[in-house]
């Protein structure tokens, strides 16, 4: 079904600035603005994002080759299109660039999580974001006359598009600083020496070598792409042709931050809060549907499940934090805390789980706390008990689901590597000294 949908998109919707050719499981994605050395503008950016998002979930695509038309890969950003922004107000320019950079980063994230190998086939000029695309690819082959440059310093800007993350990890911190601050050009052999490309071939052999590499890769179909996680009832969807969904109590705090993070990953979101006014900051975002929902109301939860349908990710984070030791905790506080922090979570899972199982599964994330069965804290009697119950509920349900899915295997290296990549990133800065288990629920 997805393969047919993808071919229909190629025929009718895909911008001329990005072209897709398919042959024997190989998708060749061509950046098609040869008159400007395939320089990046908003149209090319959106078209490339749509193409990658569609191919990511296409079971018929085994390998993706990214290349440029007209003898060049990508010379960087289109300065002429940027010059047009002078006509805008400062606030309008800032809004435009923030949106543009958001799409650029989504392109890189999709490239890095694709189940298919991505091969960059490089000729001619490669600069700016073009270099980011090369660094994000799994393999890179280039013509001997190719020229590379960071380029950003030449127009008075700092590097972006993920190059400041990839480059130090590829060439080393000192060399990355040199390339970024001086903006020197370097050739194909230097790119090979630095580890930016895998192989250099004569220009007339580039096409032959690019076609030869996919033939040497294993012919097994790509593994299913894991869907990024979500909030208390989100629907997550990378743009174009996927159907991943997520949902959350997202008006403030962790819920709001998580909704924004999923949106930045290209997810389609259903965000809920008991006070819809608190969702105003999310309502303006593309792909976000906001609803008022009291998760303590069984009828309202059932109606929301009927409206939203099957989710790929359910993130439960509604909750309250009452103070007081046991003798200070009034019965009403106890009952209200358990009702919102635990019973509502049970209610949400029970309402959304059948549709998730019917579509083949999904992810459920329940927000607990270190103040729980993990650690006691003074004056948190009801809260700590409720969060310990959340952990127990989650483990019990995970054990039930693991029996149904029957993993029956060891964790794959890529599953371990994904956690390692997170732990090595800035996002994991507050995670330390923990034993993180990846065992497909074997230990439950």
CA distance from start to end of the chain: 36
DSSP conformation class of 222 = P
Q: What is the DSSP string of 124-167?
A: SEEETHHHHHHHHSSEEEEETT-EEE--GGGGT----TTHHHHH
Which of 83, 346, 383, 422 is catalytic? The answer is 383
**Rounded to the nearest 10 degrees, how much is the dihedral formed by the CA atoms of 124, 128, 132, 137?**
-10
Residue-wise DSSP of 391-426: HHHHHHHHHHHHHHHT--SPPPHHHHHHHHHHHTSG
Structure tokens at 66: 């990214």
CA dist 67 and 57 (Å) reads 20
Active site residue 383: yes
Alpha carbons 307 and 245: distance in angstroms, whole number: 13
If you search the block for the tokens 């392109």, which residue do you land on?
107
Query: Under a CB-based contact definition with an 8 Å cutoff, are residues 40 and 129 in contact?
Result: yes
Rounded-to-integer distance, Cα 383 and Cα 110, Å: 38
Q: Report the C-alpha gap between 357 and 354 in whole angstroms.
A: 5
Taking alpha carbons only, the member of 213, 214, 279 closest to residue 250 is 279
Q: Are strands 26-31 and 186-187 parallel, antiparallel or unpaired?
A: unpaired
User: Using an 8 Å Cβ cutoff, are 317 and 249 in contact?
Assistant: yes
- Using DSSP, state whether 291 is helix, strand or coil: strand
Give the side-chain half-sphere CA count within 13 A for 71: 5
7: its two tokens: 């071919």
d(CA 125, CA 134): 12
Q: What is the 3-state secondary structure (H, E, C) of 292-356?
A: ECCCCCHHHHHHHHHHHCCCCEEEECCCCCCCECHHHCCHHHHHHHHHHHHHHHHHHHHHHHHHH
Strand partners, 141: 121, 199
Query: What residues act catalytically?
Result: 383
């Amino acid at each position: 079904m997805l393969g047919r949908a993808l071919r229909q998109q190629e025929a009718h919707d895909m911008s001329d600035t990005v072209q897709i050719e398919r042959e024997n499981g190989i998708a060749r994605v061509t950046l098609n603005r040869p008159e400007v050395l395939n320089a990046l503008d908003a149209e090319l950016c959106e078209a490339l994002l749509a193409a990658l998002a569609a191919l990511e979930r296409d079971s018929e695509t085994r390998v993706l080759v990214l290349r440029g038309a007209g003898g060049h890969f990508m010379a960087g950003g289109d300065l002429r299109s940027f010059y047009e922004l002078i006509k805008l107000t400062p606030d309008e320019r800032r809004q435009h660039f923030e949106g543009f950079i958001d799409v650029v980063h989504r392109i890189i994230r999709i490239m890095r999580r694709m189940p298919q190998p991505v091969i960059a086939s490089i000729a001619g000029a490669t600069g700016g974001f073009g270099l980011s695309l090369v660094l994000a690819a799994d393999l890179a082959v280039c013509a001997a006359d190719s020229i590379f440059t960071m380029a950003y310093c030449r127009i008075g800007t700092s590097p972006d598009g993920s190059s400041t993350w990839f480059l130090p990890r590829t060439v080393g911190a000192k060399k990355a600083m040199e390339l970024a601050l001086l903006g020197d050009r370097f050739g194909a052999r230097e790119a090979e020496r630095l580890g930016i490309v895998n192989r250099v071939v004569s220009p007339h052999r580039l096409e032959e070598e690019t076609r030869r590499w996919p033939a040497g890769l294993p012919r097994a179909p790509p593994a299913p792409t894991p869907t990024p996680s979500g909030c208390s009832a989100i629907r997550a969807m990378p743009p174009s042709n996927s159907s991943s969904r997520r949902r959350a109590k997202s008006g403030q705090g962790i819920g709001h931050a998580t909704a924004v993070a999923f949106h930045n990953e290209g997810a389609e979101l259903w965000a809920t809060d008991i006070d819809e006014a608190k969702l105003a900051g999310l309502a303006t975002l593309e792909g976000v549907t906001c609803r008022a929902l009291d998760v303590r109301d069984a009828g309202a939860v059932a109606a929301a499940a009927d409206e939203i349908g099957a989710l790929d990710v359910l993130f439960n984070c509604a909750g309250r934090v009452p103070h007081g030791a046991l003798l200070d905790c009034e019965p009403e506080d106890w009952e209200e805390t358990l009702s919102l922090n635990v019973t509502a979570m049970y209610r949400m899972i029970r309402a959304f789980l059948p549709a998730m199982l019917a579509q083949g599964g999904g992810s459920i994330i329940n927000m607990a706390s270190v103040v729980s069965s993990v650690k006691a804290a003074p004056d948190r009697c009801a809260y700590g008990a409720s969060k310990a119950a959340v952990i127990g509920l989650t483990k019990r349900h995970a054990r039930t689901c693991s029996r149904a899915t029957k993993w029956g295997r060891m964790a794959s290296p890529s599953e371990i590597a994904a956690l390692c990549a997170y732990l090595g990133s800035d996002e994991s800065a507050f995670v330390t000294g923990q034993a993180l288990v990846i065992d497909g629920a074997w230990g439950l």
